[in-house]
Amino acid sequence: MKNKAIGLIASLALLSSTVSTFADTYAGVPRTFLFNPSLDVCFKDTAEYKKEGPYTIGFSNAGLGDSWRVVMLHSMEKAAAEHKDQISHLLITDAGHDDAKQVSDIQDLISQGVDLLIVSANTEQAVDPAVSRAMEQGIPVVMVDRRVSSDNFVTFVTASDAMMGRLFGQWIAEKLHGKGNIVILGGQAGSSPNELRVKAAKQVLDQYPDIKILDTVYSDWSPVKGKQVMQAVIAKYGKSINAVLSTHGLQTPGSIEAFLEAGFKPGEIPPHTTSDVNGPLQLALKYKVPMLEVGYPPAMGGTAIDVALKVLSGAKVPCTYEINAQIATTDGDETPSIRPDLHVKDMVLPNAPADMLVTGGMGPDYNPSTFKVDYPQ
């Protein structure tokens, strides 16, 4: 137990130092740890993976289909540049959100002799066998953002999809006073962030028999597609929609625009959930949309590099390596269970681009279109 406690303290110290770089709000130990009712925390012994550096690390990325994933990749490159003394090569592949391509990418990285693999899985089922084979060959795998369906990896770096889903579901249930109709606006079907958030939200909503899920639609994390699918939903259900549970902020602007184009006036658009993206916050204030923001910081890309180095040093790591997420609501829209760290008006960047990540953690001078860093390739 003593060794486990020492490992936990070291891990939480790294978490706190990571969080302070991108959040001016809650910056303590992750609440998912503090509020965890379990008396024990799962840790992995990585002594078998300990080796001398410098290391070759491979990153198999699901793709770069949205602004969140771009910032996550830049965060990883920045962290690798800061650890040039320990990393000789960071080899990056991009699957273009194609399962077969990602399986091939993982095999290619293994053939190049990587010491460790970081994987952000396109879909949790299809990529699982490739990740499992890497582990069977003695190559440690760190999952980031998106995991595979099995537990055949060392650790999963995330910001707790379960917490997000439960907060989203509980906030909506309390905003509707336990009665009403909701639409779930998902991201990519089959991706672990979407599936885990929806599952967790439904666990909450199932406790409210007078709340009905009218429909579940998918946006592929795109505001354009989010608008298209919500236009169809609004045409079918109209003003009987009482809330929209959006599993991330990438698609939320499309939903709000669909309501506006359907004739909903400011103050009439139902409550929405969101994460990370500036645009939904801007629209919430402009059109008086009740909103809950729960962050899912792309800074976890950099954290994955830090965790990878811990694994290769033989240090114990948590089975799930969670970083902090801030909570914000529009004024007056906190509920008995959901108390924000700050309000949307204090978090929004009024004059910044709509697709800016307000939880990016890349510093005040960061521009994703011009970012370049000399990381070990």
pLDDT at 24: 52
The answer to whether 2-158+298-324 and 161-296+328-347 have equal CATH topology is yes
pLDDT the model gives residue 366 = 85
Residues 6+ apart with CB under 8 A from 226: 185, 219, 246, 250, 251, 252, 253, 254, 255, 258
Cα torsion angle, 155, 159, 161, 163, sign: positive
CATH topology of domain 2-158+298-324: Rossmann fold (3.40.50)
Please calculate the CA angle 152-153-158 and round it to the nearest 5 degrees. Answer: 125
Of the candidates 15, 339, 41, the one whose C-alpha atom is nearest the C-alpha of residue 159 is: 15
Quick one: how far is CA 157 from the chain centroid?
A: 9
CA proximity to 145, closest of 8, 367, 321: 321
Would you give per-residue pLDDT tens digits along the chain (377 residues)? 333 333 332 333 333 333 333 335 677 777 777 787 777 789 999 999 999 999 999 999 999 988 899 999 999 999 999 999 999 999 999 999 999 999 999 999 999 999 999 999 999 899 999 999 999 999 999 999 999 999 999 999 998 899 999 999 999 999 999 999 999 999 999 888 899 999 999 999 999 999 999 999 999 999 999 999 999 999 999 999 999 999 999 999 999 999 999 999 999 999 999 999 999 999 999 999 999 999 999 999 999 999 999 999 999 999 999 888 889 999 999 999 999 989 999 999 998 889 888 888 888 788 888 999 999 99
- The angle at the Cα of 158, spanning 154 to 159, to the nearest 5 degrees, equals 150
- For the chain, the structural domain boundaries read 2-158+298-324, 161-296+328-347
Burial of 125 (0-12, 13-18, 19+ CB in 10 A): middle
- Alpha-carbon gap, residue 283 to 253, rounded angstroms: 7
Instruction: Give pLDDT, residue 149.
Output: 93
Instruction: Give this prediction's pTM.
Output: 0.80
Tell me, which fold does domain 161-296+328-347 have in CATH? Rossmann fold (3.40.50)
Neighbouring CB atoms inside 10 A of 158's CB total: 27
pLDDT at residue number 13: 32
- Which of 183-206 are b and which e, b meaning 16 or more Cβ less than 10 Å from the residue's Cβ? bbbbbbebbbbbbbbbebbbebbe
Alpha carbon distance 354, 235 (integer Å): 26
Q: Answer whether 145's CB lies under 8 Å from 221's CB.
A: no
CB contact at 8 A, 95 and 63: yes
